[in-house]
A and B are shown apart, each in its own frame.
Chain A
Amino acid sequence: MSLDLSNVSKRFGKLQAVRGASLKVSPGEGYAIIGPNGAGKTTLIKCLLRFYPRHGGATTFDGQPLLEVMSKQRVGYLPERLTFNPLATASDYLELQALVRGLRFSSLATRVRNLAERLDLARWLRTPLGRFSKGMTRKLAFIQAVMHEPRLLILDEPTDGLDPVARRTVLGMVRELLAGGATALMTSHLLADLERVSDRVGVMLGGQLVAEIPLAELRSSGECTATLSRDGAGRRELYLRPGSAVDLGGEPWTVEGLALRQRTLEDWYHEVLRERDAEGVRA
């Protein structure tokens, strides 16, 4: 059940917010879109979810139009901002969300309880939402997005405002859904979090997807600095990268230290920005 975006475009008057964005996300894969503010990430998601019905291109999931997939309650969406009626309780809210989706809350109750317990929210389920902190609100928003075990998960800043423990739990839950065959499309400015949960990352600039990297490739593209010494020859530093050839002249050197530096998503992102800036492509 793959997600396909083909040549998606959206124009607001003179502003071309998204131009010809195409991507394919396979089942079980997490795809993250990163980019500066105003690059078109949220607009692309809104095109995908038919909030902008008059957009160019096509969006399908499992070969079906997204609207049909949404009708079958197979999509979970976590918007960047989600606030609640302060008088309702978390339980009321989740029950209403189940009803809106045409599902029986009783069939989801066990899963909701489980999710709430893992996110340390179970004892707050009967509390009016007006008393929730920002982090608790975000946890509840995440629960509503995943409580029905969606096959397509769209997450906009999923870990924003969460404490380190909750962040780890949320990312773990996303990984579990992916392991179960779900497909996820995410955006966030917290690149370290995306690194932990995504399989591929694309950079959006000026409404275009300008670069893409599989995380596996990124992880294998760090560098290692080895500090070597030999009697009479002093010390020398050796920079090792995957694929680099090393010639030490056949002499035995003593390894005094190793410093491993993983190339991060942030490093790659800044490289892409620098390259595109040189080409004149901006957000």
Chain B
Amino acid sequence: MIRAIRAKLTSILADRWFLAIAITFVACLNYAVLLGSGLLQPRPETEALNQVLRYTLLINNFHITCQTWGLLLPIFLGCRILADDRASGQLYVTLTGNPRRARFLLGNWMALVAATLLIMAVVVANYWTLALTLKIKTVLPDFLVVMGSILLNMLVLLTITAAAASAGTIVTGIIAGLGALTVFNLAAYQSVPFIAGGNVAMGYATRRLLATLVPIQFVYAPSVSHAASLARYVVVPYVIGNMFIWQGVFIGLVLGLSLAVFQRRDL
């Protein structure tokens, strides 16, 4: 299984489009951070405020960039869960040698998860490098919640896209992935209205429903325009209820459904 995952992973990493999107993503990440935290000139009298501002901007910019560019990566990966193997003919050779379809699909999904983890490892390394370079102190629980939420968001989108692509075609996967991303952004902006600038009413139940489809994370950040009242906005990031568990269960359900469909579909 590990060898099969490794083989799939090397073929993903050999893909120029994947590398192009990943490099652009990391470049956007750095650009967004430098535009925010990096350009702030610290003054001795406002050192404490600067530190808070720079930290919240750093973590917030990471989060927002990951939500925009970063979440395109799992869609790109997920929609091709079968396409490459099918086009190359390897799907047929592999399933002749080992006809357990569920195992094949699960192996491919795990390879895509491994690629996602690799991206996240780059993102985390990137964050720490920037934080150390800009001398920004990171609060570890905040950081873990943000990075964990980004990773789980990626996995949810990856699974939705991969499930649709394995049941249909690459196009079905893209449509499902982008659809889920739209719902996600809608939900995320509704739940963090002072970042989006809008404040459309959405009840807890509706948010919870949307979050079941695609999760919502609350990562509160202070508004730059309300720096004076900064203190009351600076709260510890948290997630709705057992959202990480919800996401895990959701991923499991979607994956289970896609395995059941894949067993019976024509290849």
Contact = CB atoms under 8 A, between A and B. Distances in A.
Chains A and B bind each other: yes
Interface of A: 46, 49-54, 67, 70-71, 73, 75-77, 79-88, 92, 95-97, 99-102, 144-145, 154
A73 B97 contact: yes
Give 6 closest A-B pairs by Cβ, nearest first: A101-B97, A82-B89, A77-B96, A79-B89, A83-B88, A85-B11
Nearest to B266: A52
B264 interface: yes
A82 B264 contact: no
B198 to A, nearest CB: 46
Contacts of B19: none
Given A85-B7, A101-B98, A46 B267 contact: yes
Contact of A71 (B14, B99, B267): B99
A70 B100 CA distance: 10
A191 to B, nearest CB: 23
A50 B95 CA distance: 9
Contact of A54 (B92, B95, B97, B266): B266
**Chain B interface secondary structure, helix, strand, loop or mixed?**
helix
Contacts of A76: 96
A67 B99 contact: yes
Contact of B264 (A54, A67, A70, A86): A54
Given A49-B96, A52-B266, A77-B93, 5 more contacts: A51-B266, A75-B96, A85-B11, A88-B7, A96-B4
A51 B104 CA distance: 13
B89 A83 contact: yes
B68 interface: no
A239 B152 CA distance: 81
Nearest to A69: B99
B14 A52 contact: no
Contacts, number: 80
Contacts of A67: 99
Contacts of A86: 14
Interface string B239-267: 00000000000000000000000011111
Contact of A79 (B93, B98, B100, B264): B93
A97 B14 contact: no
9 contacts: A49-B96, A53-B263, A53-B264, A54-B264, A71-B98, A80-B89, A82-B88, A99-B3, A100-B98
A87 B19 CA distance: 15
Interface in B1-53: 3-4, 7, 10-11, 14
A92 B100 CA distance: 22
A88 B13 CA distance: 12
B11 A87 contact: yes
Nearest to B91: A51
B7 A96 contact: yes
B126 interface: no
Contacts of A52: 266-267
B182 interface: no
B94 interface: yes
Contacts of A92: 7
- Most chain-A CB neighbours within 10 Å: which of B92, B95, B264? B92
Interface in B76-99: 87-90, 92-99
A75 B99 CA distance: 11
Contacts of A95: 3
A83 B84 CA distance: 10
B267 A97 contact: no
A80 B98 CA distance: 19
A76 B265 CA distance: 22
A100 B104 CA distance: 10
- Most chain-B CB neighbours within 10 Å: which of A67, A81, A85, A92? A85
A84 B8 CA distance: 11
B187 to A, nearest CB: 38
Contacts of B99: 50, 67, 70-71
A81 B89 contact: yes
B47 to A, nearest CB: 50
Contacts of B88: 81-84
Contact of B98 (A46, A49, A102, A145): A102
A70 B89 contact: no
A96 B3 contact: yes
A51 B95 contact: yes
A100 B267 contact: no
B267 A70 contact: no
Contacts of B100: 71
Contacts of A70: 95-99
Nearest to A79: B89
